Amino acid sequence: MPLDPILIHACALALAAILATAATHKLRAPRWFAAQLEAYALLPQALLAPVARLLPLVEGAVAVALLLPASRSAAALAAAALLAVYAGAIAVNLWRGRRDIDCGCAGPGESQPLRPVLLSRNAALLGLAVLAALPPLPRALGLFDGFVALAAAAVLLLLYAAADGLLTNAPRLLKLTGR
Other beta carbons within 10 angstroms of residue 166's beta carbon come to: 11
Residue 10 pLDDT: 94
Structural domain includes residue 35: yes
Whole-prediction pTM: 0.87
Question: Angle 143-176/5-28 helices, nearest 10 degrees?
Answer: 50
Residue 100 pLDDT: 85
Structural domain includes residue 179: no
Structural domain includes residue 150: yes
Distance CA 106, CA 160 (A): 12
For 51-102, how does the pLDDT look when each residue is reduced to its tens digit (9 = 90+)?
Answer: 999 999 999 999 999 999 999 999 999 999 999 999 999 999 999 998 888 8
Strand partners, 102: 113
Structural domain includes residue 178: no
| Ranges of residues in the chain whose predicted pLDDT is under 50 | none
Structural domain includes residue 56: yes
Structural domain includes residue 176: no
Residue 179 pLDDT: 66
| Residue at 106: amino acid letter | A
Query: Do residues 39 and 102 make contact, with C-beta atoms less than 8 angstroms apart?
Result: yes
Q: What is the extent of the structural domain holding 147?
A: 5-170
Number of domains in the chain: 1
Distance CA 35, CA 48 (A): 9
Structural domain includes residue 175: no
